[in-house]
Amino acid sequence: MDLILILTGALVIDLLFREPPLALHPVVWMGHFTAVWEKWGLNRKPLFQFIFGTILTLITIGLFAVPAYYLLAYLKDWNFLVYILAGMTLFKTTFSLKELQQAALKIKQLLLNNNLAEARFGLRSMVKRDAHDLTEPLVVSATVESVTENTCDSFVAPLFYFLILGIPGAIAYRVINTLDAMIGRHGQYEYLGKFAARLDDVANIIPARLTGLFFVLAAILLRKNTRAAWRIMLRDHAKTASPNAGWSMSAAAGALELRLTKLGHYQLGDDMQPLVPRTIDYSLQLMFVSAFSWFFLCFAVEVTRFALTTQA
């Protein structure tokens, strides 16, 4: 019963309240800790960077996941209500739908106000690409890509690991994903972040494909182009550099009959509908329907698990 309450409560907190202050947010702590140790590993020989990055990645995961496990175990024995509230709060910090929605809507509003320059600047919080010269359709494309890809990273994957490993599992995933975002890139982080990047790829193998399938389901429920969602997902998912990012993006591109483009990297989907600010709303609809469908499945799994445990 406790995991059912924590799962439901965490989602309610995410939808009704703002993110915790930055000074109290565990993801911010993860970023600060990583920023400290990454400086020690840069500008060294590649082999040293790789070994150093591997060891510190594992240490960072343990530093956040292990204390959470023991804290929750202690609170569960001490006071059930405090345990549930702490569990809800900790688990909520591993995912965010509302923040993703707000970031996307901010870009949409800037475009509606004909403020393309600020919309490009605002994209920095959503994508890694250089947005300096992007046209309005490409800004819309980047926003839709971020919404659909991050449906996995920001919701499906944390809940997936919650089902398997509880709150510490969700926290461990968030550490891995944060490390990948910070150092899992080419260039100066090529060797230092290689282990974190590969670990993130492995961690998202199942969640990314689940997200793609739930986008196809969302296309059915929203009466979008379901056949195209399925067809484009199978056709274009491998076009991205990441082995996982293309599943949800290509499914969304098919459902909305769009062509999503990252210049010099990939094109997903067919160019049937224009990329306009309103398109961002459609991508958010897909995100929420997919996310809630996944939530209800997770809820059903936890209820079934509780019922079987009670009968035993």
Q: What is the average per-residue pLDDT within 232-242?
A: 95
The tokens describing 232, both together, are 């484009």
Rounded to the nearest 10 degrees, what angle do helices 194-203 and 205-221 cross at? 50
Q: Which residue has the higher pLDDT, 183 or 219?
A: 219
Q: In the prediction, which pLDDT does 59 show?
A: 94
Cα–Cα distance, 94 to 87 (Å, whole number): 11
| List of long-range contacts for 65-72, beta carbons under 8 Å, 24+ apart | 65/168, 65/169, 65/171, 65/172, 65/175, 66/168, 68/167, 68/168, 68/171, 69/166, 69/167, 69/168, 72/167, 72/168
Question: Is 79 a residue whose pLDDT tops 90?
Answer: yes
Strand partners, 261: 267
Total domains, the chain:
1
Question: Is 197 a residue whose pLDDT tops 70?
Answer: yes
User: What's the per-residue H, E or C state across 101-141?
Assistant: HHHHHHHHHHHHCCCHHHHHHHHHHCCCCCCCCCCHHHHHH
**Sign of the alpha-carbon dihedral angle for 152, 125, 280, 251:** negative
Question: Is 78 a residue whose pLDDT tops 90?
Answer: yes
Question: Is 163 a residue whose pLDDT tops 90?
Answer: yes
The rounded percent of the chain whose pLDDT value lies above 70 is 99
Mean pLDDT of the chain: 93
Q: What is the pLDDT of residues 214-233, one digit of tens each?
A: 999 999 999 999 999 999 99
Question: Is 29 a residue whose pLDDT tops 70?
Answer: yes
Q: What is the pLDDT of residues 171-180, one digit of tens each?
A: 999 999 999 9
Cα–Cα distance, 175 to 17 (Å, whole number): 23
Strand residues in the chain grouped as ranges (E):
260-262, 266-268
The tokens describing 182, both together, are 């910070």
Q: Which residue has the higher pLDDT, 187 or 209?
A: 209
Q: Among residues 283, 263, 50, which one has the least CA distance to residue 145?
A: 283
Q: How far is CA 136 from the centre of its chain?
A: 24
Q: In the prediction, which pLDDT does 312 show?
A: 62
**Domain region containing 285:** 2-311
Q: What is the average per-residue pLDDT within 240-247?
A: 93
Find the Cα–Cα–Cα–Cα dihedral 288, 178, 88, 290, rounded to 10°.
20
Q: What is the average per-residue pLDDT within 65-74?
A: 96
Question: Is 72 a residue whose pLDDT tops 90?
Answer: yes
Total residues found in the chain within this entry: 312
Are 134 and 142 contacting, i.e. CB atoms less than 8 angstroms apart?
Answer: yes
Q: In the prediction, which pLDDT does 307 show?
A: 87
Q: In the prediction, which pLDDT does 184 show?
A: 79
Question: Is 40 a residue whose pLDDT tops 90?
Answer: no
